[in-house]
Amino acid sequence: MLQSPKKSIRKLSQQVGVSYGTAHTALKKCLHLHPYKITAVHDLKPGDSAKRLAYCKWFLDFLDHEGEDILKITFFTDKAYFHLSWYINSQNSHVWCAHNPNVFHESPLHDEKIGIWVGMSCRRIVGPIFFSETLNSQWYCDNIVYPFIVQLKEDEIDKAYFQ
């Protein structure tokens, strides 16, 4: 199990019967080991990078033709999850190694969590909407898209973009 650097040094010092300072010095100066943070990343599929790049190119081209006013009527949306199960806190979990091992922790696709969704434009924020259900297209339409549309003003319904 991964531990904070201080806990791992304390545990090592207890196991070998030396002081915390001696264990710390041995790890850093004698063994040349350093604590490296673990980076949590989403599991990207092989075609994801090309799709993301294609979208960015399309959007930049779109801005050139439509002008920057398009951003005033574009709603950007995002959702975030508060995980109820174990996850890596990259501020506190480290791996001791001589060279950076670039350690990754892959999280499961569907773990227990509470979600929050929000839509925002230059004009205003719509939401937040909290949810704990597993998302599918029907639930997303019924509980996010349709309530979002109901809250739009008339000019936004005619011209706005939903990102």
CA pair distance 161, 163, nearest whole angstrom: 6
The pLDDT score that the predictor gives to residue 93 is 67
* Span 75-80, average pLDDT: 87
Residue 92 has pLDDT above 70, yes or no: no
pLDDT at position 86: 63
How long is the chain? 163
Nearest to 121 by CA among 87, 70, 83, 65: 70
Beta-carbon contacts of 36 under 8 Å, excluding residues fewer than 6 positions away, are: 94, 95, 96, 97, 100, 101, 102, 103
More confident residue, 47 or 110: 47
Tell me how far apart the alpha carbons of residues 98 and 30 are, in angstroms, rounded to a whole number.
10
- What's the pLDDT at 1? 47
Average pLDDT of span 1-26 = 81
Nearest partner of 85 among 104, 118, 43, 113, judged by Cα = 113
| Spatial separation of the C-alpha atoms in residues 160 and 154, rounded to whole Å | 10
As a whole number of angstroms, the distance between CA 56 and CA 45 comes to: 18
Query: What is the rounded CA–CA span in Å between residue 39 and residue 25?
Result: 26
Going by pLDDT thresholds of 50, 70 and 90, the confidence category of residue 81 is: confident
Cα-flanking dihedrals φ and ψ of residue 104, to 5°? -120, 150
DSSP assignment, residue 142?
Answer: I
Which residue ranges make up each domain of the chain? Answer: 33-162
